[in-house]
């Protein structure tokens, strides 16, 4: 098995720390470097919590990508920087695996054309957890039969983007099989703005933010006399790591942009 050399952006974050551990503990993965907002020139192993995990720390993108020979960039930062990181990685011939959420459709289109131009794989995965991918697939199946749908995503209160990338992706997948429909009473009025949530093709998305939560979503399907609820819960960030591993292995085999791991799992 060939070794895959990996750069991780955002190593000190909640997801980044798990990803560093994953790479460190995976036989054919090698942590080539990390991109951080501080500690330029230091070694990761010198930071508390990363003992024994050797990797040079860079704060400058160009310096990192030009000095380090790497195959894959795993980005787990913020929407503000994730896009720039992915674009720059492709320019240096490095394949991005992006877990960062909050990208716009225009961002995805830009990355798609850059991926095509460079002939390199790129994976954007709004959710790496296998259960969440199945939840989205099941929701798409149900969306064929139920037209009235409310998505309730629930996350920790440090999350920057709303709605979550998973909720957006779920609504997109359902929209592929459901005719657009405005839900609720035609004359309904919000007496407090936002009460009915975000509107995506008539479906409603509600974002809950509370300390103590990790990542949870339930999709509710209503029809005369019945309710179907499809729910997934991630109780920790380790739940995402088998998907990160799969994405890294997969991105090495492709030369296009893949948006969503549902396109990768059988
Ligand atoms: N796809 C998936 O399955 C999952 C995706 N996420 C997404 O991953 C991202 C990170 O989530 P968390 O780890 O919870 O956030 P976090 O806030 O704990 O970590 C983000 C890290 O990125 C670092 N960072 C910010 N700007 C940077 C830059 N320019 N260069 C290098 N590092 C930079 C921050 O210092 C921080 O350590 C979010 O967009 C979140 O929505 C989170 C969980 C699962
Ligand atoms: O910020 C998070 O925590 C998560 N973000 C992703 C999203 O926006 O869907 C994936 C997961 O829900 C956790």
Per residue in 28-39, pLDDT (tens digit) is 999 999 999 999
Helix then strand then coil, % of the chain, to nearest 5: 35, 25, 40
pLDDT exceeds cutoff 90 at 266 = no
Q: Give 118 Cα–ligand 2 centroid separation in angstroms.
A: 29
The verdict on whether residue 100 carries a ligand-binding annotation is yes
Given the candidates 3.30.360.10, 3.40.50.1100, 3.40.570.10, 3.40.50.12500, the CATH classification of the domain at 130-234 is 3.30.360.10
Average pLDDT, the chain: 97
Whether the model clears a pTM of 0.95, i.e. scores above it, the answer is: yes
**If you write DSSP's letter for every residue of 169-210 in order, what string do you get?**
HHHHHHHTTS-----S-TT---SSTTTT-EEETTEEEEEEE-
In this predicted complex, what is the ipTM? Answer: 0.99
Give the model confidence (pLDDT) of 68-113 as tens digits.
999 999 999 998 899 999 999 999 999 999 999 999 999 999 999 9
Give the model confidence (pLDDT) of 222-256 as tens digits.
999 999 999 999 999 999 999 999 999 999 999 99
Q: Whose CA is nearest to atom 3 of ligand 1?
A: 127
Nearest by Cα to 11 from 37, 46, 29, 42: 37
Cα(102)–Cα(33) distance, rounded to whole angstroms?
25
The verdict on whether residue 77 carries a ligand-binding annotation is no
Name the CATH superfamily, with its identifier, for domain 4-124+238-263. NAD(P)-binding Rossmann-like Domain (3.40.50.720)
Which tokens sit at 1?
Answer: 């098995």
**Where are the chain's structural domains?**
4-124+238-263, 130-234
Q: Is the CB of 125 under 6 A from ligand 1?
A: yes
Other residues' Cβ atoms within 10 Å of the Cβ of residue 120:
22
Rounding to the nearest 10 degrees, give the CA dihedral for residues 193, 199, 208, 215: -170
DSSP 8-state code for residue 3: P
Catalytic site includes residue 159: yes
Cα(17)–Cα(85) distance, rounded to whole angstroms?
18
Cα(75)–Cα(122) distance, rounded to whole angstroms?
11
Torsional class of 26: left (φ above 0), alpha (ψ -120 to 50), beta (otherwise): beta
Pocket mutation for ligand 2, best pick of 102, 127, 170, 236 (most atoms within 8 Å of C-beta): 127
Nearest 5°: the CA angle 41, 61, 67 is: 60
Q: Give 186 Cα–ligand 2 centroid separation in angstroms.
A: 32
Give the model confidence (pLDDT) of 115-147 as tens digits.
999 999 999 999 999 999 999 999 999 999 999
Cα(265)–Cα(188) distance, rounded to whole angstroms?
41
Cα(122)–Cα(264) distance, rounded to whole angstroms?
12
């Amino acid at each position: 098995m060939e070794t895959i050399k990996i750069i991780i952006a955002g190593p000190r974050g909640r997801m980044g720390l798990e990803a560093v551990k994953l790479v460190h503990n995976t036989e054919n993965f090698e942590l080539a470097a990390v991109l951080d907002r501080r500690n330029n020139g230091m070694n990761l192993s010198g930071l508390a919590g990363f003992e024994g995990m050797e990797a040079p720390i860079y704060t400058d993108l160009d310096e990192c990508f030009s000095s380090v020979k790497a195959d894959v960039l795993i980005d787990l930062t913020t929407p503000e920087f994730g896009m720039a990181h992915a674009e720059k990685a492709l320019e240096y011939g490095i394949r991005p695996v992006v877990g960062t959420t909050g990208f716009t459709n225009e961002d995805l289109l830009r990355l798609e054309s850059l991926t095509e131009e460079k002939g390199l794989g790129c994976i954007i995965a709004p959710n790496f957890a296998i259960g969440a991918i199945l939840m989205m697939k099941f929701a798409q199946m149900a969306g064929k039969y139920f037209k009235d749908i409310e998505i309730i995503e629930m996350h920790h209160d440090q999350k920057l983007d709303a709605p979550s990338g998973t909720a957006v992706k779920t609504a997109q997948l359902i929209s592929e099989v459901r005719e657009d429909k405005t839900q609720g009473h035609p004359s309904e009025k919000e007496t407090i703005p936002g009460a009915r949530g975000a509107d995506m093709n008539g479906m409603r998305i509600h974002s809950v933010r509370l300390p103590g939560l990790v990542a949870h979503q339930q999709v509710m399907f209503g029809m005369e006399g019945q309710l179907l609820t499809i729910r997934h819960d991630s109780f920790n960030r380790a739940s995402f790591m088998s998907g990160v591993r799969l994405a890294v292995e997969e991105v090495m085999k492709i030369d296009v942009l893949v948006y969503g791991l549902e396109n990768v799992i059988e």
